[in-house]
Structure 1
Amino acid sequence: GIELYVSGQQGYWASLRIEPDLISRIKKAQKEDSEIWTIVENLDKQTLLQVYLRLRGDMMPSGLLWIV
């Protein structure tokens, strides 16, 4: 694992340990969501690239976070 020592700032350590777990859980849930993959499979490669570039890490209009 990654260890970070910042004098007097224990909050940073906690946030670094939680974030990778949250991101991996979101990615796992998205892989298991058939609706997302139905949409992705119906997009051509150019459209998919545009969607990825615009939405990577941002909130989607539907309120879902899509982490690629």
Structure 2
Amino acid sequence: MINNWSMKNFGVIALISGWVLMSGWGAYIGFIEVKFLIYKISIILIWLGITVLLLKAIFDR
């Protein structure tokens, strides 16, 4: 029988995986189209910042 704790973990893993896949793909497309290095660095930093905030919010619940 599946307990509540494992379902929470599955939900967290699914949420993080979906976030990484969808935003990673979008960042990759944006990264390819951008010509300037400073914009590429900005895209990476913004994406990492939002990912860290998402993870922190999930694990602080």
If the length of structure 2 is used for normalisation, what is the TM-score? 0.43
- Structure 1 or 2: larger helix share? 2
Q: Which protein shows a greater Rg?
A: 1
Higher relative contact order (CA 8 A, sep 6+): 2
